[in-house]
Amino acid sequence: MKKAKILFLSLLVMVLSLAFASASLAGPIVIKFSHVVAEKTPKGQMAIKFKELVEKRLPGKVEVEVFPNSQLFGDNKVLEAMLLGDVQLAAPSLSKFKKYTKVLQLYDLPFLFKDMDAVGRFQQGPFGQKMLHSLESKGLLGLGYLHNGLKQLSCNSPLRVPADCKNKKFRIMSSDVLAAQFEAVGAMPLKKPFSEVFTLLQTKAIDGQENTWTNIYSKKFYEVQPYITESNHGLLDYMVVTSAQFWKGLPADIRAEVKKCLDEAIAYGNELSAKMAIADKEKIIASKRSKVITLTPEEREQWVKAMKPVWKKFENQIGKEYIDAAIAANK
Ligand code: LMR
């Protein structure tokens, strides 16, 4: 009887240590978060906050590895890599999903949103929320929107009116709407990865580019662009995405906690984006490396008139009801 008890206990110890060994071999779930911007940007800070929250609330269960500055993937590769399971989280700009869906082209329409509050209202409304599901047939899930802000135009010559862009080469993100926007003012758009922009500007292979204050500051574009026109002509925001296979494969309790951390990190990043846009613009002005041009209402109106016809070209691909809902969010 005693022998049997000893045998049973040894077996139990063996089973338990095997279970323990295989659990520790399996290790924590690793979430690789790849992005292209610097750490001192709304997206860079949001990613760091997400890592901190997850590792505090799910210690030993989930680890987050953040790869900024296109260290792991550029935006032209990251979604393919995600579908292959090589990265679990990314937040590409809304301009970079054209291979996967057409509806997100809405966010590139020039002069669509009057300010970031209007953007927020639209994104949180029924149309904006529906758009988060627009990638599902391709195996990707939109988990939320993250703000960067409104774009400005930088160039090696002053841009006051659309005619100043004539025959100038501008780097754009991989978006047909942005190509049409620059063609509408007689410029030559070139689709190039974010990681190449500084060198293209520095070597004068291109004349200008469009971006937000935080990207212009953190990537030092202002050091190689003598003029920045405060045009606020378009939006640069992000969709935080993951692969459906990875997300649905997470244990339900872990998935719920990770989503909570993500929502909090996004709220943090969004709050920061407004503050950083103001602060980085001030830093650029103070540097005196680049002159910031403020448009008169009449000059701005000329840009609106030249660029807005682009809307009509993309109306069928996007859906008029989405454009109408975005316009309504301005009120
Ligand atoms: C760009 O390519 O200019 C931006 O999408 C970079 C970013 O992620 O903000």
Q: Tens digit of pLDDT for each residue in 92-145?
A: 999 999 999 999 999 999 999 999 999 999 999 999 999 999 999 999 999 999
In-domain check, residue 289 = yes
Provide mean pLDDT across the span 39-59. Answer: 98
- 142 occurs within a structural domain: yes
pLDDT top residue among 210 and 23: 210
Residue pair 229/137 in contact (Cβ under 8 Å)? The answer is no
CA of 213 to the centre of ligand 1 (A): 12
What percentage of residues in the chain have a pLDDT greater than 70? 92
How many Å lie between the centroid of ligand 1 and the Cα of residue 18?
A: 47
Name the DSSP letter for residue 141: E
Candidates 201, 236, 240, 272: which one to mutate for ligand 1, based on the most atoms within 8 Å of Cβ? 236
What is the distance in A from the centroid of ligand 1 to the CA of 93? 6
In a domain, 205, yes or no: yes
Question: Average per-residue pLDDT in the chain?
Answer: 94
* Phi, psi dihedral angles at 104 (to 5 degrees): -70, -10
pLDDT band at 6 (very low <50, low <70, confident <90, very high): low
Tokens of 326: 């975005």
Ligand 1 neighbourhood includes 93 CB (under 6 angstroms): yes
Position 206, amino acid: I
Best residue among 33, 78, 93 to mutate for probing ligand 1's pocket (most ligand atoms within 8 Å of CB) is 93
Stretch 294-318: mean pLDDT: 98
| Banded model confidence at residue 54, pLDDT cuts 50, 70, 90 | very high
Pocket lining: 174 vs ligand 1, CB cutoff 6 Å: no
Pocket test for ligand 1, best of 194, 210, 241 (most atoms within 8 A of CB): 194
For residue 148 and ligand 1, the question of a CB distance below 6 A is answered with yes
72 lines ligand 1 (CB under 6 A): no
Q: Is 213 in the pocket of ligand 1 (CB under 6 A)?
A: no
The atom of ligand 1 lying closest to the CA of 96 is: 5
- Mean pLDDT in residue range 220-231: 98
Give pLDDT tens digits for 139-181: 999 999 999 999 999 999 999 999 999 999 999 999 999 999 9
Q: Tell me the pTM.
A: 0.92
- Count CA within 13 A, CB hemisphere, residue 182: 25
Confidence at residue 26, expressed as pLDDT on a 0 to 100 scale: 77
Residue 138 confidence (pLDDT): 98
Residue minimizing CA distance to atom 2 of ligand 1? 194
Q: In what order do the strands lie in the sheet with 89-90?
A: 62-67, 29-34, 89-90, 235-243, 140-150
Domain count for the chain: 1
Structure token pair of residue 84: 């292959």
Query: Is residue 7 pLDDT above 60, yes or no?
Result: no
pLDDT at 12: 47
Task: Report whether pLDDT(246) > 70.
Answer: yes
Indicate whether 319 belongs to any domain: yes
> 154 CB under 6 A from ligand 1?
no
- Is residue 20 included in any domain, yes or no? no
- Please report whether residue 3 resides in a domain: no
pLDDT at 24: 46
pLDDT at 241 (0 to 100)? 98
295 lines ligand 1 (CB under 6 A): no
37 Cβ closer than 6 Å to some ligand 1 atom: yes
Instruction: Establish if 58 belongs to a structural domain.
Output: yes
Q: What's the CATH code of the domain at 131? A: 3.40.190.170
Residue 21 pLDDT grade (very low, low, confident, very high; cuts 50, 70, 90): very low
Angle at alpha carbon of residue 155, lines to 303 and 291, rounded to 5°: 95
Q: What is the 237 CA–ligand 1 centroid distance (Å)?
A: 9
Residue-level pLDDT at 33: 98
Q: Which of 208, 209, 238 is nearest to 50 (CA)?
A: 238
Diameter of the chain by CA atoms?
98
CA of 194 to the centre of ligand 1 (A): 6
Decide: 36 in ligand 1 pocket, CB within 6 A.
yes
Q: How far is CA 48 from CA 40, 111, 146, 172, in A?
A: 10, 32, 14, 27
Quote the tokens at residue 121.
């209202």
**Total residues found in the chain within this entry:** 331
Range of the domain at 116: 25-328
Report which protein residue has its CA nearest ligand 1's atom 5.
Answer: 93
pLDDT for residue 23 is more than 50: no
| 304 in any annotated domain | yes
Q: Which atom of ligand 1 is nearest to the CA of 41?
A: 9
The amino acid sitting at 176 is D
Confidence of residue 5 (pLDDT cuts 50, 70, 90): low
Structure confidence at residue 80 as a pLDDT band (50, 70, 90): very high
The whole-number average pLDDT for the span 236-263 is 98
Q: Say how many Å lie between the CA of residue 156 and the centre of ligand 1.
A: 20
